[in-house]
Amino acid sequence: MFQEIMFELLHGAGRFFMNPLFYIILLFSVLLGYTRVRRERKHFRVRVDEGLAEFRGLLKESWLAALVLSLIITGAGLVVPKGWLVLFCGFMLAGVLLFRYQAGAPIYAAGLAALAYWLLGRYDVATDWPFIGWTYAGVTGEEAVTITVIAGLLTVAEGILIRKYGARDASPLLQETARGLQGAAYRTKRLWLLPLLFAVPGGPIGEMLPYWPQFTLGGTSYYLIFIPAVIGFEHTARHVLPGQVYGGYGKAVFVAGLGVTAAAFLGLWEPLAGWAVLALGFIMRAMITIRAAVRESKGNFAVAPRSDGVVVAAVLPGSPADKMGILPGETIRKVNGVTVTDERELYEAIQVNAAHCRVEVLNREGELRLCQHVIFRHDHHRMGLLVVR
């Protein structure tokens, strides 16, 4: 039995690399970095982070979540029908290709796949496609539980990733304020790859333990398959700084995912209740996105020009400004004792005493502090400040 499981795991890994979704996710993660760098150079004449940052974080930031979810899904025997899994990958692929990652939440793909799976079977649409075809065997209460639980668990993972990385990955851009000036907004647009292991009816692995699988879907044997699940996320913050947005945003998504996961087991009592929970989770996730977007569309910019100094939009990582602890949203009042009100005056003041550059900063709470760092003469651009103009 152990050899059969290992052999099937190798087969499952092979199916993962045969899935075109995997390669499209890789390609679009590179495209995300390319478009971000172009936008940052257009607005600030310099990029904040390297173009491959999104590609490097694609799996680095989500591998632990993928491992835990795979252990839960497969270890608990949450078997899913092949047809739903194929459609789930298809809707995730469509979400990646759209390049509008407000629609990248996994519960959207899970819910649409469940609906499409039922509709295709309900109206006897032929699904005997090469390689990915399946035979519709009806929708049961077990499927209502397993699919909804998986959607809830993926939403929990999404909330954790947003909370942990949303603010860190925010990219600055300039937008026009109500007064015709340029304020700073911060866009987070990310893909996270989660290689997930699923058990599907119809393979060489039989029931291994008295408790596995918990949800058989009428099958007596199963095969294992890895799929490249993807979480897409996009949000633009302007009314509130990113560090103050994504903690609450991620928490709301996390709580919604926990609620869906727990309520999914109502499907054991009544299948329609399980599907209703999935639909409600779909709506809740959409409402979280809409509420956050509406909140950011109202009110003033958190980072906008001021008459009493130069407002910092972003700081380049590892730069002198970063080492001085200057943060986005803070205002530079004086440099080397010279009052500055715009970008040109800022860089001219740096050259007054570049060897021991002293900066008077007004922080977000309205308190003044003095920072100091060595800036080499004629290298003022290396201070690493991106400012609103």
3-state secondary structure the chain: CHHHHHHHHHHHHHHHHHCHHHHHHHHHHHHHHHHHHHHHHHHHCCCCCCCCHHHHHHHHCCHHHHHHHHHHHHHCCECCCHHHHHHHHHHHHHHHHHCCHHHCCHHHHHHHHHHHHHHHHHCCCCCCCCCCCCCCCCCCHHHHHHHHHHHHHHHHHHHHHHHHHCCCCCEEEEEECCCCCEEEEEEEEEEEEEEEEEEEEEEEEECCECCECCECCCCCEEEEEEEEEEEEEEEEECCCCHHHHHHHHHHHHHHHHHHHHHHHHHHHCCHHHHHHHHHHHHHHHHHHHHHHHHHHHCCCCCECCECCEEEEEEECCCCHHHHCCCCCCCEEEEECCEECCCHHHHHHHHCCCHHHEEEEEECCCCCEEEEEECCCCCCHHHHCEEECC
Q: Strand order of the sheet with strand 171-176?
A: 171-176, 182-206, 221-237
- Distance, CA of 204 to CA of 212 (rounded, Å): 15
Q: Provide the pLDDT for residue 223.
A: 74
For CA atoms 322, 323, 324, 325, give the dihedral sign.
positive
Give pLDDT tens digits along the chain (389 positions): 556 656 666 766 777 888 999 999 999 999 999 999 999 999 999 999 999 999 999 999 999 999 999 999 988 888 899 999 999 999 999 999 999 999 999 999 999 999 999 999 989 888 888 878 888 877 878 889 999 999 999 999 999 999 999 999 999 999 988 888 889 999 999 999 999 999 887 655 555 544 555 454 545 567 788 999 999 999 999 999 999 999 999 999 999 999 999 999 999 889 899 999 999 999 999 999 999 999 998 888 999 998 889 999 999 988 888 888 999 999 999 998 899 998 889 888 888 876 778 899 999 888 999 988 776 654 545 678 899 97
Q: Provide the pLDDT for residue 12.
A: 60
Q: Provide the pLDDT for residue 221.
A: 65
What pairing do the DSSP bridges indicate for beta strands 221-237 and 385-387?
unpaired
**Cα separation values, 80 from 83, 117, 176, 226, 351, Å:** 9, 12, 49, 13, 66
User: Amino acid identity, residue 192?
Assistant: W
Task: Indicate whether this model's pTM tops 0.75.
Answer: yes
Contact criterion met (CB below 8 Å) for 192 and 61: yes
- Report the length, in residues, of the chain: 389
In angstroms, the first-to-last Cα distance of the chain is: 67
Q: Provide the pLDDT for residue 365.
A: 87
Q: Provide the pLDDT for residue 205.
A: 53
- Radius of gyration, CA atoms only, the chain: 25
- Distance, CA of 77 to CA of 349 (rounded, Å): 66
Q: Provide the pLDDT for residue 380.
A: 45
Q: Within 13 Å of residue 313, how many CA atoms lie on the same side as its CB?
A: 28
